[in-house]
Amino acid sequence: MRSWLQVYPAFLRTALLSSIQYRASGAIWMIGSILEPLIYLTVWSTVARSQGGEVGGYTAQEFAAYYAILLLVNHLTFTWIMHEFQYRIQYGSLSFALLRPVHPIHADIAENIAFKAVQLVVILPGLILLCVAFRPHFEPVGWSLALFVPVLFFGFLLRFLIEWTLALGAFWTTRVTAMNQIYFSLLMFLSGRVAPISLLPLWVSDIAQNLPFYYAIGFPVELALGRLSPEAAMRGVLIQLVWLAVSGVGISLIWRRATKRFTAVGS
Amino acid sequence: MPRAITLENLAKSYVVPVREAGVRAGVVSLFKRKTRKVEAVKEVSLSLEAGEIVGFLGPNGAGKTTTLKMLSGLLHPSAGSVTVLGHEPWRRENEFLRQITLVMGQRNQLIWDIPVLDSFDRNRVIYRLSRAEYRERVDDLTDLLELGHLLNKPVRNLSLGERMKCEVAAALLHHPRILFLDEPTLGLDVSMQRRLRSFIARYNKNTGASVLLTSHYMADVEALCPRVVVIHHGEILFDGKLAELIKRFSAQKTLVLEVDEDSGDLSRFGEVVSSEGGRVTLRVPKRDTAEVTARILRELTVHDLNVADPPIEEIIDQVFSGRMS
């Protein structure tokens, strides 16, 4: 077995132990993540009803299904790494991570997975409440649901690799917040979080379908809802894989340059 | 003995932005950045044998930590070469990282929210120790550093001293062959400092590991380091035995006298450092010591007399302030 794979059980264990420490902050964090899709859902179902029951191919109940799945997909794919890197460099914890004979990304992946597992305890009741209140409607398709599992995992990896790479910007500038803001705006708009991308102007949705954001969030959601043809699904998986490969190469190139540049001043 | 560490003409410079104070200068700097090159380390050459303990001394900003970071692989040298156990540290090969450790006082690598033992266990996996090896080492370290009651506490609940002991233990679980210790006793009380010192000495004796240690506490250096390297403004001022440093840089001796209280003004013999009752401390140039001592014995009623080198702190201070170099 590859040596870095062997560390995962231990990393998951310590991350899990850390995650369960802060129950209150975890719960508050989760309320925030449930509120976001709830707001968009309310807006879009109101719009759908005022437009005679449907907008952009979605009824109010289908919007409910879209945002219910989106809540789950966004929870399982989000990272907070971009907010953290700056502090790691400033306060020196990165130095210790660099001196361990394991690439620091593995501890981050493990921590992310452990945190999500713990937070599912809060997310699932939230999801159930949302379903009771908004009565989502969708017709599950067997193959779509089966494909959803690897697609969701690829979506997680894609978002993780992209955000980890962008977080490395902290090696060049200690103020990465501005860059993060641009990224999060693009992500909100082009991933399908604000609205399904089919609701965007055609040229915007064309762009979105070639950028990675949609393949991390909107694509898995639409697949789970059974709204994609087998061809569209396969094309989506291929694009996911291409972006994964690009991010993988990008991360290793940038990581090498970033650590060489790392001056560790004051840390 | 094989060389554990070799530095040849090692240098590190940083480019740092320069800006004058004030709003105007701030606005100007938006459009026109001025930078300055800071040479943190200039052409440092030095080597350590396996098993050696060396004290690395210098005032703040002398280049000690920068050098330690280049040695451990955190920094890429700007020029020169560095070899540690046959590796170039900045490549940070796993084989290299498994054989070294870096302890920085006041900074922690233990995980804040979970019990110490869980952090230790994580290191077991990272450094691929067998369970038997791990258990034996935890037991040893627990004995030597008296960690027993701390192991099941979350790190955030430990005092500074307790945390430092656990940090050191975590840093040594994998039995590194090279220890880089940057101010390991910073902020610890005297007895904790002493305990940590004797532990480091014992670790060195038992494992034959090489230790490069920086400290502002001369007691650390006197207790642990037969050899010291003094660095100032990024350059090595002295490399040799501690006794040699004292001999070379101490141009004065300290005379402690017990005389009658009414002995009058003693400044005719030398600089009066302190005078309390009949106990007087004088500082005299080293070359005059014999003559001054003879005069004192001739002219005063002396109950006790002691001639000593000034405290090591004072000598180091003189070296740094450039008075004696």
Q: Hunting for tokens 């790392």 — which residue is that?
A: A262
DSSP state of A7: T
Domain boundaries, chain B: 3-11+47-247, 251-308
Strand order from edge to edge, sheet including B210-214: B100-104, B178-182, B210-214, B53-57, B227-232, B235-241
pLDDT(B201) > 90 = yes
At B283-304, the pLDDT tens digits run: 898 888 999 999 999 998 889 9
Write the CA distances from A231 to A22, A263, B87, integer angstroms: 44, 49, 52
The per-type count for chain B, helices as H runs and strands as E runs, is: 11, 13
**Cβ <8 Å between B113 and A18:** yes
Q: Is the pTM of this model over 0.90?
A: no
Q: What tokens does B81 get?
A: 């070469």
At A52-84, the pLDDT tens digits run: 888 988 999 999 999 999 999 999 999 988 888
Residues of A within an 8 Å Cβ radius of B = 3, 6-7, 9-11, 13-14, 17-18, 21-22, 91-93, 95-96, 98-102, 259-260, 262-265, 267
Q: What tokens does A165 get?
A: 């790479």
DSSP state of B310: P
So what's the pLDDT on residue A265? 52
Write out chain B residues lying below 8 Å of A93, CB-based: 107, 109
Write out chain A residues lying below 8 Å of B107, CB-based: 91-93, 95-96, 267
Mean pLDDT for B178-186 is: 90
Whether residue A53 is contained in a domain is answered as yes
In this structure, are residues B68 and B56 in contact, taking their beta carbons and an 8 Å threshold? yes
DSSP state of B63: S
Write out chain B residues lying below 8 Å of A263, CB-based: 14, 75
The CATH class, in words, for B3-11+47-247 is: alpha beta
Q: Return all residues near B251 (Cβ < 8 A) that are at least 6 apart.
A: B285, B286, B318, B324
CB neighbours of residue B205 within 10 Å: 11
Contact pairs from chain A to chain B, CB under 8 Å:
81
Q: What tokens does A148 get?
A: 């959803």
**Cβ <8 Å between B73 and A98:** yes
Whether residue A267 is contained in a domain is answered as no
**Cβ <8 Å between B97 and A99:** yes
Phi and psi at A91, nearest 5°, equal -100, 5
pLDDT(A266) > 60 = no
The interface predicted TM-score of the complex, written ipTM, equals 0.81
- Nearest C-alpha of chain B: how many angstroms from A11? 7
Cα A135 to its chain centre, rounded Å, is 25
CB neighbours of residue B30 within 10 Å: 7
Query: In chain B, which residue's Cα lies nearest the Cα of A16?
Result: B114
Query: In chain B, which residue's Cα lies nearest the Cα of A101?
Result: B94
The whole-angstrom separation of Cα B95 and Cα B109 is: 20
Cross-chain CB nearest to A100 (options B90, B104, B126)? B126
**Cβ <8 Å between A13 and B90:** no
Of B103, B67, B99, nearest to B85 by C-alpha is B99
Q: What tokens does B97 get?
A: 């990282």
How many domains are there within chain A?
1
The whole-angstrom separation of Cα B110 and Cα B120 is: 8
Confidence of residue B325 (pLDDT cuts 50, 70, 90): very low
pLDDT(A13) > 50 = yes
The whole-angstrom separation of Cα A235 and Cα A151 is: 12
At B260-272, the pLDDT tens digits run: 888 888 888 988 8
Q: What tokens does A231 get?
A: 């061809």
Query: In chain A, which residue's Cα lies nearest the Cα of B109?
Result: A96
Most A CBs within 10 Å: which of B35, B74, B134, as the mutation test of the A interface?
Answer: B74
CATH number of B251-308: 3.30.70.980
The whole-angstrom separation of Cα B183 and Cα B186 is: 5
**Cβ <8 Å between B111 and A92:** no
H-helix segments, A20-103? 23-50, 60-77, 81-91, 93-98
Query: In chain A, which residue's Cα lies nearest the Cα of B90?
Result: A260
Q: What tokens does B105 get?
A: 């006082």
